[in-house]
Amino acid sequence: MSLRMEEIERYSRQIILKEVGGKGQEKLLASRVLIVGAGGLGSPASMYLAAAGVGTIGLIDGDIVDLTNLQRQIVHSTGDIGTPKVRSAAEKLRAINPAVQVHTYEERVTAGNILDIIKDYDFVIDGTDNFPAKFLINDACYFAGKPFSHAGILRFDGQLFTVLPGRSACYRCLFGGPPPANAVPSCAQAGVLGGVAGVIGSLQATETLKYLLGVGELLTDRMLVFDALGMHFREVGFRRNRRCPLCGEKPTITELRDEEQPVCDWRGTQV
């Protein structure tokens, strides 16, 4: 047992849990989690994982902190405007827990870099805001055998589920491929309540911790759908789709590609 007294104290409130204990804490300290996107979902997710003592956290995001982010991307502050998001986030995570190693990747995920990045991690959190990235993450994790948490938010709603590639339903089991550009509004276009990002991002962190600790039932083969206005959580169950182009009986997607669907935001620029 290698926990120092300071660590025992710092993590005491979760060590108390029967399902965690000192052993569980050591597992967390030895874990590595990659968070794609340091925005609305990545903010709460990364903060809770850092607080819980996940030993290594990777952050990948090519964006710079913008004033419009601050309404919900709570890992960033006003003074960070203009700073690359991953750097701003890393600074806060280290302040929360200096023992956490934060690796930053100031770039966007592409078919060209993703496999190389995710290979060093135990779990991936999809905190992205665009569909091509979501499908890319889904595919890459399938090929690399990495479990991941998928999530999305819009207006007052959110949804998330966990994928164990090859074992549980993946994103393409539900949605064959991305919708065309502008077919589905983004947060910039339709808006989103900050708290909803907090709820869903925190749930992602929770799923991650459960996976790393090996406890509880993961949100696999079912989607949690959150309706903040009605304050309802719904669960929609599903199965692996035999006709899934990625993980079905006759896969048609056998390699990674960048889906052609640039992200469109109201400023009309692509960052």
Q: Which residues bind another protein (CB under 8 A)?
A: 1, 3, 8-9, 12-13, 15-16, 18, 21-23, 37-42, 61, 63, 69, 126-131, 134, 151-154, 157-159, 173-176, 178-179, 183-188, 190, 192, 197, 223, 234, 236-239, 241, 243, 263, 265
Instruction: Say if strands 148-154 and 123-126 run parallel, antiparallel, or are unpaired.
Output: parallel
- The C-alpha atoms of residue 216 and residue 81 are separated, in whole angstroms, by 39
Nearer CB in complex with another protein: 231/255: 231
**CA neighbor of 123 nearest in space, from 95, 139, 107, 147:** 147
CB of 110 to another protein, least distance (A): 15
Nearer CB in complex with another protein: 31/73: 73
Nearest residue (CB) to another protein, 200 versus 218: 200
Minimum CB distance to another protein, residue 9 (Å): 6
Beta-ladder partners of 217? none
Distances (CA, A) of 68 to 27, 49, 117, 136, 168: 37, 25, 28, 26, 36
CB 137 within 8 A of CB 114: yes
Q: Mention every residue, 6+ apart, whose C-beta is less than 8 A from residue 267.
A: 188
Of 210 and 240, the one with the shorter C-beta distance to another protein is 240
DSSP character string of 227-271: ETTTTEEEEEE----TT-TTTSSS----S----S-----TT----
CB of 128 to another protein, least distance (A): 5
Least distance between another protein and beta carbon 65 (Å) = 12
Q: How far is the CB of 144 from another protein (least distance, A)?
A: 21
CB of residue 70 vs another protein: minimum separation in angstroms? 13
When the beta carbons of 255 and 266 are compared against another protein, the nearer one is 266
Inter-residue contact 35 to 125 (CB < 8 Å)? yes
d(Cα 156, Cα 228) in Å, to the nearest integer? 5
Residue 212 token pair? 């790393």
Q: Two tokens at 115?
A: 């496999």
Question: Which is closer to another protein, CB of 158 or CB of 165?
Answer: 158
State phi, psi for 74 to the nearest 5 degrees.
-75, 0
Least spacing, CB of residue 169 vs another protein, in Å: 9
> Which C-beta is closer to another protein: that of 166 or that of 271?
271
Q: Are strands 222-227 and 232-237 parallel, antiparallel or unpaired?
A: antiparallel
For residue 59, which of 79, 98, 85, 30 has the smallest C-alpha distance?
Answer: 85
